[in-house]
Amino acid sequence: MAHIVLDSCAGRDGGREALEAAAIASLQLDHQITVVGDESAITDALAKIAHDAERLRVAHARDRCEPDQDAADVLRQAPRNSIVVGLEIAARDPSAVFVSAGAPGTIVAGAQQILNRIPGVPHAALAAVYPTLRPHGPVSDLFALLLDVGATVECSGDDLVTFAAMGAAYASKISRIDRPRVALLCNGHGIANAPVRAREAHRRLLAAKPAFEYVGCIRADSVTSGDADVIVTDGFSGDVLLRTLEGVAATGESLLRRAAEKFQWRVGVQMLSDGISAIREFTDWENYGGAPLLGFGRAVVVTQADSGRRAFLNAIRLGAKIDRLQVIAAVSEGVAAFHGLSGPPRAPAPDPEAT
Amino acid sequence: MTSDPADPSDPTSPEGQALQQRRFMHLRWDLDKTYLRTEFDTVKDLIKTFRQKAEDKIAVAGASALLRALLDPRERSHRRVTFISGSPRQMRKVLTAKLALDGVEPDMFILKPNLENLLRGRFRAIRGQVGYKLKALLLSHMAAEHVDEYLFGDDAEQDAFIYSVYADILAGRVDAVALAAILSTCKVYRGDVDEIMAYHRQLFGSGEVVRRIFIHLERRSPLDRFAGYGARVVAIYNYFQGAAVLFEAGALEPRGLIAVTEAMESEGYTPERLANSLQDLMRRGVLHFGTIQKLSRELAAAESTMGRPVPRFLHAFEDAVGALENLNRPGPRWEAEINYLGIYHEARFRRQQHRFLGIRLLD
């Protein structure tokens, strides 16, 4: 039984949908759920929602953080916010999974302060799944993993190879792939045009002969082909790529809505409605269950800021799966095994923007 | 809003304890979904329930332990238990056998004359509970000078409504005019109305007899649904919560609470689930921090004397309580006047609003 620690201060409707998801999960799933936030407001709201109080606990967070606030400011001005309180609860319980739709920067900064980092991991990575054309692994998982998508914007070669090890370990557990195919996201036609960090990571991954299959570089236009189970990049490029994929899906939706302008098009769309619904389901980010933050000794799942009930419920299910399959332990072992082969990582380079 | 009209004198003081010992306690239990885990949502369930043997019937976790603790042989001479169930009279034998298996001997066991209702064409009475249960409650009322009644029902039927009307008849808050309006709204048959009104004339204003009405949330209904009844109605997710409230009221001995805790644990309840249950009561203002401390002391003492594995429970309780900031929240209000007709219509609307001409309207 997993212990889900859910931040109820973020998400759609000021966190109300997070609370509703917790209430539904308490009725449908056999997990301990701790909802973090303003206790008095949560208790009042829960009174109106069917829930199972036997499986639901409330932890009070005195301070509230705003989503657009700088991470350092949040931790300084609102030290007892729901992210900090939730991460502290997670730190105390080995079976805990922290789920939040809060600002990823604040979650990463809070996790760095509160949670133990996996040995050999210089920086954390946020891993997102995205739909591909080719299925992955024995369970024909249609989703591939992309990391990092925003946790570590400035990455070194060390970071990228560690991300590769973490992503491969995660995919081997979640998608049950024995030897995941891992690729580095590159620009142009080859590694020669890639930045130094990517070239260094490429060289080390080729030399290491790790437990996963390193398939080399992959261009952004091949990401959805499914040629790789795990694609590794820095947090900046990963975030840009993910937003682009989401933007394309949203544009497709808008184009379909424009079909209402002409009667013939409307009829055509109606005839294709089943297929369109299937594609919509397939590309809807709310079905993915959030992005796991890898690199810490506890599972953390970050959902989008405007997550609704369905997104939170899927994030809770993902968190429970991560706990059940002991994914964090597998990631830790994967990193240790990789560094055992390629040597320990160097100390993280100093942040040039740090004062 | 009024002060707590049903709050007995402090049970921890010597006078309070003496008074507590002198008082009669009348326990009123519903059976299906309150004491027994019964499914009767479909015809198949009904047939299955009807054909079940006594040994196949399963009590709700902690229910029989709580009832046995309340009917402790040392206190039995001034404790009484009445079961009032909507099950047909033809099931008396098997239900009595089930209670005997659980070590519970009811003083009175009232079952519904469903066959008679069917033969007389009183079809509304087969499904309706208000007329039948209110009459049975008034009929089995124990006329004694010092009596406390604790009523147990569930959220599958109208138990909170019926029990509260009964309590307010005794307290003198539902007069004949108000009762007639309620019975008319609930479409109670004329014969039943006459009998209920006759009981009302005898018992109206007997006193604040009903201390607590426990509603077992078998369907996990939202708590707000019971807010209109005030603090007398306590919605509970399990009987550990009921035991904790009775423990705070001085109606249940510490050993009784420990027995319920053990029974719940043997039914698969983890310390975390029980701690969550306590925290829920605290957040709702039903249980006070002092009670949790007292309960922890009793559990710790039980461990030292009987070698029970208590530390996990204590740790879970501390954790659950420590997660809160406001440890002593003011409890719900004791309602001076309950808007019974408003509650009835609201519940009726709620049942109907989901569909209109078969079309789903609201979630």
| CATH code at position A279 | 3.40.718.10
Please tell me whether residues A207 and A104 are part of one structural domain: no
pLDDT at B47: 79
A212 vs A154: CA distance, rounded Å: 25
Contact status, residue A68 vs residue A103, Cβ threshold 8 Å: yes
Contact status, residue A42 vs residue A334, Cβ threshold 8 Å: no
Token pair listed for A173: 């557990």
B276 vs B319: CA distance, rounded Å: 10
Please tell me whether residues A332 and A201 are part of one structural domain: yes
Burial of B305 (0-12, 13-18, 19+ CB in 10 A): exposed
Q: Best interface-test mutation with A: which of B240, B270, B273, B333 has the largest number of A CBs within 10 A? A: B273
Partner residue facing A62 (CB), from B275, B276, B325: B325
Cβ-defined contact of B221 to A50 (cutoff 8 Å): yes
Let me know if residue A190 belongs to a domain.
yes
CATH number of the structural domain spanning residue B36: 3.40.50.1000
Query: Residue A335: is its pLDDT beyond 90?
Result: yes
Q: Which domain holds residue A39?
A: 1-115
Between A and B, how many residue pairs show a Cβ–Cβ distance under 8 A? 61
Instruction: Out of A66, A81, A115, pick the residue that ends a domain.
Output: A115
Please tell me whether residues A165 and A37 are part of one structural domain: no
Please tell me whether residues A53 and A143 are part of one structural domain: no
Say which residues have a Cβ less than 8 Å from residue A272's Cβ, sequence separation at least 6.
none
Which chain B residues are Cβ-neighbours of A62 within 8 angstroms?
Answer: 325
- Looking at residue A355, its amino acid is T
Let me know if residue B359 belongs to a domain.
no
Average pLDDT value over all residues in chain B: 85
Please tell me whether residues A136 and A73 are part of one structural domain: no
Q: Which domain holds residue B174?
A: 17-252
Please tell me whether residues A132 and A260 are part of one structural domain: yes
Q: Helix, strand, or coil here: B140?
A: coil
B193 vs A265: CA distance, rounded Å: 65
Q: Report yes or no: A80 at the B interface, CB cutoff 8 Å.
A: no
pLDDT at B1: 41
Lowest-confidence region among A49-63, B108-122, B131-145 = B108-122
Q: What are the C-alpha distances in Å from B173 to residues A98, B166, B179, B184, B343?
A: 50, 10, 10, 18, 16
pLDDT at B5: 47
- If one counts the domains in chain A, the total is 2
Token pair listed for B135: 């009459």
Residue B36 DSSP label: B
- If one counts the domains in chain B, the total is 1
pLDDT at B362: 46
Assign 3-state DSSP to chain A and report helix, strand, coil percentages, each to 5.
Answer: 50, 20, 30
Q: Report yes or no: B320 at the A interface, CB cutoff 8 Å.
A: yes
Say which residues have a Cβ less than 8 Å from residue B355's Cβ, sequence separation at least 6.
B361
pLDDT in tens, B2-53: 445 444 445 555 555 555 556 899 999 999 999 999 877 777 777 777 788 8
Let me know if residue B212 belongs to a domain.
yes
- Looking at residue B318, its amino acid is E
pLDDT in tens, A150-166: 999 999 999 999 999 99
Please tell me whether residues A94 and A231 are part of one structural domain: no
Instruction: Out of A66, A83, A115, pick the residue that ends a domain.
Output: A115
The per-type count for chain A, helices as H runs and strands as E runs, is 12, 11
**Edge-to-edge order in the sheet of strand B108-112:** B108-112, B79-88, B24-29, B147-154, B210-216, B233-236
B104 vs B86: CA distance, rounded Å: 19
Let me know if residue B198 belongs to a domain.
yes
For residue A157, which of A100, A226, A208 has the smallest C-alpha distance? A208
Let me know if residue A83 belongs to a domain.
yes
Partner residue facing B277 (CB), from A27, A40, A54: A54
pLDDT at B28: 95
pLDDT in tens, A245-290: 888 878 877 877 777 777 877 788 778 877 777 777 766 777 777 8
Query: Residue A49: is its pLDDT beyond 50?
Result: yes
Which chain B residues are Cβ-neighbours of A56 within 8 angstroms?
Answer: 276, 280
Query: Residue B221: is its pLDDT beyond 80?
Result: yes
Q: Report yes or no: B222 at the A interface, CB cutoff 8 Å.
A: yes
Let me know if residue B260 belongs to a domain.
no
pLDDT at A347: 46
- Looking at residue A127, its amino acid is A
Which chain B residues are Cβ-neighbours of A89 within 8 angstroms?
Answer: 323
Query: Residue A111: is its pLDDT beyond 80?
Result: yes
What confidence tier does B134 reach under pLDDT thresholds 50, 70, 90?
very high
Please tell me whether residues A105 and A158 are part of one structural domain: no
Q: Best interface-test mutation with A: which of B219, B283, B284 has the largest number of A CBs within 10 A? A: B283
Let me know if residue B345 belongs to a domain.
no
Q: Best interface-test mutation with B: which of A56, A57, A58, A80 has the largest number of B CBs within 10 A? A: A57
For residue A292, which of A177, A113, A181, A146 has the smallest C-alpha distance? A146
Query: Residue A239: is its pLDDT beyond 50?
Result: yes
Please tell me whether residues A211 and A342 are part of one structural domain: yes
How much of chain B, in percent, has pLDDT values that exceed 90? 54
Which chain A residue has its CA at the smallest distance from B317's CA? A57
pLDDT at B113: 85
Please tell me whether residues A141 and A30 are part of one structural domain: no
Partner residue facing A53 (CB), from B269, B276, B324: B276
Cβ-defined contact of B324 to A62 (cutoff 8 Å): no
Q: What are the C-alpha distances in Å from A325 to residues A122, A172, A318, B18?
A: 24, 10, 10, 58
What confidence tier does B353 reach under pLDDT thresholds 50, 70, 90?
low
Strand-strand pairing, A96-100 and A141-147: unpaired
Contact status, residue A12 vs residue A103, Cβ threshold 8 Å: no
Let me know if residue B102 belongs to a domain.
yes
Which chain B residues are Cβ-neighbours of A46 within 8 angstroms?
Answer: 223
Which chain A residues are Cβ-neighbours of B276 within 8 angstroms?
Answer: 32, 53-57
Lowest-confidence region among A95-109, B19-33, B107-121, B343-357 = B343-357
Please tell me whether residues A97 and A136 are part of one structural domain: no
What confidence tier does B138 reach under pLDDT thresholds 50, 70, 90?
very high
pLDDT at B116: 82
How much of chain A, in percent, has pLDDT values that exceed 90? 59
B254 vs B49: CA distance, rounded Å: 35
Q: What is the ipTM of this complex?
A: 0.87
How much of chain A, in percent, has pLDDT values that exceed 70? 95
Q: What is the mean pLDDT of residues A350-354?
A: 43
Q: What is the mean pLDDT of residues B77-85?
A: 92
Q: Report yes or no: B325 at the A interface, CB cutoff 8 Å.
A: yes
Partner residue facing A58 (CB), from B237, B273, B283: B283
Instruction: Out of A51, A81, A115, pick the residue that ends a domain.
Output: A115
Q: Helix, strand, or coil here: B253?
A: coil
pLDDT in tens, B306-340: 555 567 778 888 888 887 877 778 888 887 789 99
Lowest-confidence region among A77-81, A180-184, B177-181 = A77-81
The per-type count for chain B, helices as H runs and strands as E runs, is 16, 8
Cβ-defined contact of B237 to A52 (cutoff 8 Å): yes
Cβ-defined contact of A59 to B279 (cutoff 8 Å): no
Let me know if residue A38 belongs to a domain.
yes
Q: Report yes or no: B350 at the A interface, CB cutoff 8 Å.
A: no
Please tell me whether residues A55 and A148 are part of one structural domain: no
Let me know if residue B1 belongs to a domain.
no
